[in-house]
Amino acid sequence: MADSDSSGTNWIEILGRLEKLHPAIVVPGHGEVGDVGVISAMREYLVFVRDRVQQMKSQGDIVTDVEKKLEPEVLAKYKDWDNPNWIKNAIDNFYNSAK
């Protein structure tokens, strides 16, 4: 979700729908060609970030605190992630859409 106008919620929904198609070959915009596991991994990553952001926001953390705390956690959990510079964008997206 590199673009500021992307919707993390929509990404999760669409990735779930794509996952149900069980594609044999997935050619992502970034990263290696793979199978449905590529879709599943991205969806799981976004769900993880969304859930942690919502948890931190509900505890009163402001967005900059969430970024500082969560980015290292995401980097540790997803060591091989292709675009770690987009973690902040995902955090901000979910923070701004969280209730």
The whole-angstrom separation of Cα 18 and Cα 64 is 33
Residues 6+ positions from 82 with CB-CB distance below 8 Å? 30, 31
Cα–Cα separations (whole angstroms), residue 46 to 8, 49, 53: 7, 5, 10
Q: Is the pLDDT of residue 23 over 90?
A: yes
More confident residue, 38 or 30: 38
Q: Is the pLDDT of residue 4 over 80?
A: no
Cβ atoms of residues 91 and 66 within 8 Å: yes
The whole-angstrom separation of Cα 23 and Cα 35 is 6
Break the chain into its structural domains and give their ranges.
8-97
* pLDDT in the model for residue 82: 74
pTM of the full predicted structure?
Answer: 0.91
pLDDT tens digits, one per residue of 53-98 = 999 999 999 999 999 999 999 999 998 877 788 899 999 999 999 8
DSSP per-residue codes, 8-41: HHHHHHHHHHHHTT--S-B--SSS--BSHHHHHH
